[in-house]
Amino acid sequence: MSNLRKILFVSRDDGGCSFYRCHQPSKFLKRSGLFDSEVVFRTPSPDQLMSADLVVMQEMGTVNASNLARFMIENRIPYLTEFDDFVHHVSPRNQGGYGCWNPSTLYVHRSMELARSGFGIQVSTPQLAREYHVYNPTVHVIPNWLDKDLWDQPASRKADGKIRIGWAGGNAHADDLAMISKVLERVLIEHKGDVVFETFGMTAQELHGSFPFQASPTGGCEKCGHEGMMHHYPGEPLQTYPTALLSKSWDIALAPVVNNAFGNCKSDIKIKEYSACGFPVIASPVQPYRDASRAGAPLVFAETFEEWYDALKNLIRSETERRQRSNDARKWSEKNWIQDRISETGIVYKEIIDLSEQVLGKKSDRIIKP
């Protein structure tokens, strides 16, 4: 039997948030020999909970999550409530989240009770820490990182003479895409097929209404080779997503985010992904992206229609600038491998467990209450 302390992650889905906040950290904490670690989907057993030195609760808002919290409190099991988004400000157009995180449900109320009752809160950004500090004064910032084994791959560009502008993301971003739809339409019409816009991630149904133009079949017209203005590529499994994104060979990548409370609490993971692919990036000046820029990410910021238009036109015109920004992006991405950062996460968890043992007692002292 391992003498390592055990961290149990309770995930709530099989998407990107659970991948970056549960599965990937668990994998590298265990691989590095820092902790024994396990990920359970939503419903850990009492034995699994009792065997953990620390539980990271991503599952929240449900009756199930409240019952798990009650069991942990009764049995003096320390847990952190994990937030990767500001759940109080989810847009009605957020197809992935608004069904749960809207005022007509009890999800937010139950989640805040979970946060108040826990041994602390875990978040991905300093801005989220500021927002959630009112619910629990103990907040730990653990950023999202990339797996070098997945993302450190050779980059290439398509030699067809076209400029490819791209955006990648899931169905939570309808408002973000609507913000840049008109400027994209103007740029694409002006360049008459020499510039192509591509999306990667959302389904055709989810994208419907986001743009005033329709996606064309990939591959172009068999007779004349015209590709149209926009292509759509569906999402990929998370393990093959890095290779698929890299294969898009975009000349310019876009990171529009609405500048509101929700947008300013997002993480910079999209910037890290784009940079690992060597894509020059135009981004909204929201807090996480400004923080990434201060940390060295070579971003072009744009907020108004005119700023987005000018930024796009400048990068379209200048191959030299695109190449320089691509090289700078890949260089910056070398700072963001989880392999080089997992020890920092391990130190945070060790300190939490050390303190919890002083306050709640050691795992070996627990007895399940009937």
- Domain at 149-333, CATH homologous superfamily: Glycogen Phosphorylase B; (3.40.50.2000)
Q: Which of 176, 153, 164, 195 lies closest to 280 in space, CA to CA?
A: 164
Q: Identify the band that residue 369 occupies on the pLDDT scale cut at 50, 70 and 90.
A: low
**pLDDT bucket at 214, cuts 50 / 70 / 90:** low
Instruction: Please give the pLDDT value at position 275.
Output: 98
Q: How confident is the model at residue 222 (pLDDT cuts 50, 70, 90)?
A: very low
pLDDT at 219: 52
Task: Say if CB 196 and CB 213 are below 8 A apart.
Answer: no
pLDDT tens per residue across span 12-54: 988 889 999 999 999 999 999 999 999 999 999 999 999 999 9
**β-bridge pairing 79-83 and 54-57:** parallel
287 has pLDDT over 80: yes
Distances (CA, A) of 308 to 125, 194, 260, 324: 26, 19, 18, 20
- Domain boundaries along the sequence of the chain: 6-145+338-365, 149-333
Please list, in sequence order, all residues whose beta carbon lies within 8 angstroms of the beta carbon of residue 176, skipping any fewer than 6 positions away.
169, 256, 257, 258, 263, 284
Q: What's the confidence (pLDDT) of residue 223? A: 45
Q: Which amino acid is at 195?
A: V
Q: Which CATH architecture has domain 6-145+338-365?
A: 3-Layer(aba) Sandwich (3.40)
pLDDT over 60 (residue 221) = no
Please give the DSSP secondary-structure letter assigned to residue 363: G
Beginning with the edge strand found earlier in the chain, give each strand of the sheet holding 252-255 in spatial order: 230-234, 195-201, 163-168, 252-255, 281-283, 299-301
Q: How confident is the model at residue 96 (pLDDT cuts 50, 70, 90)?
A: confident
Mean pLDDT of 106-128: 96
Query: Do 149-333 and 6-145+338-365 have the same topology in CATH?
Result: yes
Which residues, 6 or more positions from 63, have their beta carbon under 8 angstroms from its beta carbon? 110
CA distance linking residue 65 with residue 240, whole number of Å: 31
The residues with which 272 forms a beta bridge, in sequence order, are none
The pair of structure tokens assigned to 177 is 């895409």
With cut-offs at 50, 70 and 90, classify the pLDDT of residue 90. Answer: confident
Question: What is the arithmetic mean of pLDDT over 108-121?
Answer: 96
Structure tokens at 130: 């500021």
